[in-house]
Structure 1
């Protein structure tokens, strides 16, 4: 285990909303304790930004790449659900490690995992082991639902469900199991149509009493509204509002079809949103109204979603396309610039997820979750006229020199410092479909 506990020397760092060159970043016990002018005055080639926070993914889907191509959301869900039922602890472990390393190499230091419900404690333990082995920080959402439907048209695959009380007892155990680690448990509701009002009440009560965040897919397409109207006689947002399930511990994922009323309610109740631009493109779902949501004061974070609906776990891709899609949708080139996008991608939804705030770049007192960039690793990012513009428009995993989590170097020169990647590749290659 490689540990950096002293100084990143003579770097250009994005801090306080701007680039500052020839700086030393002091790190003590995993915390940034100072950013000072450097005594060295060399040719600065390293640039430092906060690590990306991937606010939404499904790690197990790293073994399901390319599935259900050219299908819409409901058909995609049926196919992925069948595959998810068959997950084993071994496959869950390999998927978690593979996806986490892919995130780390694209500058991500925190992953927010939205697990599909599964009754297997061994699968959950395998995911935790995989996260711990890679060293990434994680918010681990344990799936919870209580409305079964074998057709998966409006509910959830019955084989994946457990009684609500059993799920909550399991999460209590996960809280103890992950204490003093980089993993913090959460609750993950698949969508409004997969849970009853009573299930939502139990979920919120547990979340508040145990101080854990909750996440829910919401209006990725109009399906949530169609099904909620069919079975409950009201829209998805009104169902969540009636169930008193909109509050500042909630992360709503996607929100592509969130109308003005829904945006107003989420803003009023302090709900944050996970924006997943590449997945929404791949499945043809649409473009989330991010600019409108932010104008209302909704906190927005960035996500890649699972590799079965995105096909990569590349945060640079989501970072760039997330900005470009909003410029197309709003017909403006002057929005979501690098400073705005870095706040979204590194801390937009952190408060709702129980994570430290990240605003304006690297800051003293924050965890040393940092990405070190070297543009000269890729001629496609040279010459560097504007570091932020270069990261946004041309950045890729190729320019990541190293990634630190809690001050520990967990990724360097294209390789994990913790995981034997050749052994990982052998394990993945042995898997059969």
Structure 2
């Protein structure tokens, strides 16, 4: 994992531990990462790094663990402005009586950009370097992601009913594809087709989504089997469960990212595995909305690739991947009765490399390897609450939290330095949040 020649690099980061995720179950002690032109140049023992490289910037993090930047595999970033608006309600009541009415009144490019900037700040502070977004006005989300210098996968959202963003399914698709064409050259951005859910998108629209996904080689990001009500509605309207309906339409492919996947039969799990589909597991949102507990242990046993997401801040209410990793591990153990299910290394892999695979960007990010983008999170494990440390990977999942994140780099750019935002202004974002709170309360 080293190079032989001596030269100047942009950044050198020394750390007590490095957990690269690839290869798995590996923790490197007293190693350094060299970065040039936004990419990892080498990972090598710190003593060697100091003789091989000179660096324009040198970070000496003697009590820290370096991990790949966390990837939030499913969120609605702009909904940070709706955090806490309507809590303790079932999903459909929450959506129909509170969230959708608020969005119909306030959703706009300005709302989306301000909400996404607020979300980006929270995610950066929590060690998240990439997020997969599904929301209206994705151009505004793109502008926010680029301003923050985060990596984002932007959903080309599609719904069969009108909103402030688009009038019908064709309008959604047209605007989404135009957005992709406009930002396709940005190296921090990738794209997904994003039909909202089986209960909001009809067969004709799903067929068009599949056509575009195949032509453009894009993942398909969709809520699927989140609640029992969704399944009952599908049985009434289509006389089949949503997964079978999507399979009949040809959507169950290695490009499909099924969000939630809570209520699955053994046959459906086998089908998802056979078709190479991916799953975005959102444990906190599933519990808060009383949707249920996804059968993660069974999906893992079948070889399904599972990543982790927070969902939106309106239904979580945190964009906290440390909380998701810990909860995912504990729920898998508790629901299966097997303490060995979903160990710490695997939970970290779900929040990094697995998520990158689901988005088709694992050649770029998701692990710490020479040649990959320098998307890196540093976690300070010197606190009393993380002392002593026998196993850094275990501590990351079971002992530490986002409050221990000290530094974040995306594409080699430092976005968080000693816990302070570099690319975003905290006071400006608080003012924006207060402004929207005033409008929404009215």
Q: Give the TM-score, by structure 1 length.
A: 0.91
1:188-203, aligned counterparts within 5 Å? 188-203=194-209
Q: Pick one of 76, 80, 83 that aligns with 2:99.
A: 80
Q: Pick one of 120, 127, 134 that aligns with 2:141.
A: 127
Q: 1:203 to 1:241 in 2, by over 3 A?
A: same
Task: Report the aligned-residue RMSD.
Answer: 2.0
Unaligned runs of 5+ in 2: 1-8, 51-59
- Summarize deviations over 1:349-377 as a string: whole Å, max 9, x none: 3223121159995222221111011112x
Question: Could you say which residue in structure 2 is the equivalent of 1:209?
Answer: 215
Unaligned runs of 5+ in 1: 149-156
Q: Distance in 2 between matches of 1:124 and 1:275?
A: 23
Q: Distance in 2 between matches of 1:270 and 1:10?
A: 37
1:92-103, aligned counterparts within 5 Å? 92-103=112-123
Q: 1:369 to 1:109 in 2, by over 3 A?
A: same
In the TM superposition, residue 306 of structure 1 has moved relative to its aligned partner by 0.5
Q: 1:422 to 1:158 in 2, by over 3 A?
A: closer
Q: Distance in 2 between matches of 1:100 and 1:386?
A: 30
Question: Could you say which residue in structure 1 is the equivalent of 2:83?
Answer: 65
Q: Pick one of 172, 180, 183 that aligns with 2:177.
A: 172
Q: Distance in 2 between matches of 1:10 and 1:277?
A: 31
In the TM superposition, residue 95 of structure 1 has moved relative to its aligned partner by 0.8
Q: Pick one of 4, 20, 27 that aligns with 2:28.
A: 20
Question: Could you say which residue in structure 1 is the equivalent of 2:64?
Answer: 46
Question: Could you say which residue in structure 1 is the equivalent of 2:303?
Answer: 297
Q: 1:384 to 1:359 in 2, by over 3 A?
A: farther
In the TM superposition, residue 415 of structure 1 has moved relative to its aligned partner by 1.9
Q: Distance in 1 between matches of 2:301 and 2:353?
A: 17
Question: Could you say which residue in structure 1 is the equivalent of 2:419?
Answer: 414
Q: Distance in 2 between matches of 1:345 and 1:194?
A: 28
Q: 1:67 to 1:430 in 2, by over 3 A?
A: closer
In the TM superposition, residue 10 of structure 1 has moved relative to its aligned partner by 4.8
Question: Could you say which residue in structure 1 is the equivalent of 2:5?
Answer: none
Q: Distance in 1 between matches of 2:363 and 2:126?
A: 21
- Summarize deviations over 1:299-358 as a string: whole Å, max 9, x none: 100001101110111111111111111111011222211111111110213223121159
Question: Could you say which residue in structure 1 is the equivalent of 2:387?
Answer: 382
Q: Distance in 2 between matches of 1:5 and 1:113?
A: 31
Q: Distance in 1 between matches of 2:354 and 2:404?
A: 24
Q: 1:327 to 1:401 in 2, by over 3 A?
A: same
State how many pairs are aligned.
Answer: 414
Q: Pick one of 138, 143, 146 that aligns with 2:152.
A: 138
In the TM superposition, residue 421 of structure 1 has moved relative to its aligned partner by 1.3
